[in-house]
Amino acid sequence: RGRRAATSAPAWSRAAPALGLVAAAAVAEAAPAALDEPFNSFDDAVAARADLVSTIRDLEGLANVGRRREEALVYEDLRVTSWTVLGDVAADLPRLVAREVPVPQSARAFSWRARGDIRAAGDLVARNRLRHPAHLPAGTRLKLLDPEGAADG
């Protein structure tokens, strides 16, 4: 008495279609946003592309396992388009390079010496999560945008 009848599938598997719809909606929102994202560097765009494509590939695989071929084809198209568009965006962006701070100095001074532009100090501080930008110890390795420009030359 008071016992529920046993079901043939566990609760998580019955919820899977609903979770798939939620994930699909999230990717449908994320993909166009990623394509419109103003990236600062080649490396940022490539990392975003890898994350987005990995998520789409996972959903594509789940759709294939569930024998939802039409859904899988939509994911495949979204994955290929995202890869291509973000690759084109990345090609026009500067690469990140690593530089070592030669002598103790501020982020502004380092930015001026490395890039010839004191305005790049804000990106340098944010990108490297510098806690004390007024004092960079000698030998510190920092990532900064390549002063030579875009990744393709």
pLDDT per position as a tens digit, 18-59 = 556 666 677 767 776 766 778 888 998 899 889 888 888 888
Exposure pattern of 81-98 as b/e (b: 16+ CB <10 Å)? Answer: ebeeebeebbeebbbbee
Q: How far apart are alpha carbons 36 and 16 in whole angstroms? A: 30
Q: Mind listing the pLDDT tens digit for each residue in 59-107?
A: 888 888 877 788 888 888 888 988 998 888 889 888 989 999 999 999 9
